[in-house]
Amino acid sequence: MQAAVADQALFGRWVRLEPLSALSSAEATSLMTRSDTIGQLVLSSPPPESCGRFVPVFCVRARRDGSCVGLAANWEVFGYPDVAEIGLYVQRPGLGLEAWVLDMTYLFSHGAHKCLLEVVDGNDSVLRPFEKLGLRPQAWLSEHAYAAGQFRDVAVYSMTADEWSTLTSSNHALARVAASIGGASF
Partner 1 sequence: MSPMLTHQDIELRQLAPQDGQLLIDLDKAGCNIGLIGLPESLQECHVIFQSLESQMWSTPMTALSAGTPFGAFWTALPNVSNLNALLVTLFEGLDRGGVALALYIRHLFWSFPLHRLYTHVGALDRGSGYSAIYEGIGFKREGILKEHALLAGRRQDIVVYGLLREEFDRCMLAFDPALSLAGVDASGRR
Q: Which residues bind partner 1 (CB under 8 A)?
A: 43-44, 78-83, 113-114, 116, 137-146, 151, 156, 158, 160
Nearest distance, CB of residue 95 and partner 1, angstroms: 26
Give the residue with the Cβ less far from partner 1, 42 or 181: 42
Give the residue with the Cβ less far from partner 1, 124 or 162: 162
List of residues 6+ apart from 33 with CB closer than 8 A: 39
For the range 139-147, what are the long-range contacts, defined as Cβ-Cβ under 8 Å and sequence gap of 24 or more? 144/43, 144/118, 145/41, 145/43, 145/120, 147/40, 147/41, 147/42, 147/120, 147/122
Rounded Cα distance, 144 and 121, in Å: 10
Nearest distance, CB of residue 143 and partner 1, angstroms: 6
Nearest distance, CB of residue 122 and partner 1, angstroms: 14
Element (H, E) at 69: strand 68-77
Give the residue with the Cβ less far from partner 1, 150 or 185: 150
Give the residue with the Cβ less far from partner 1, 140 or 186: 140
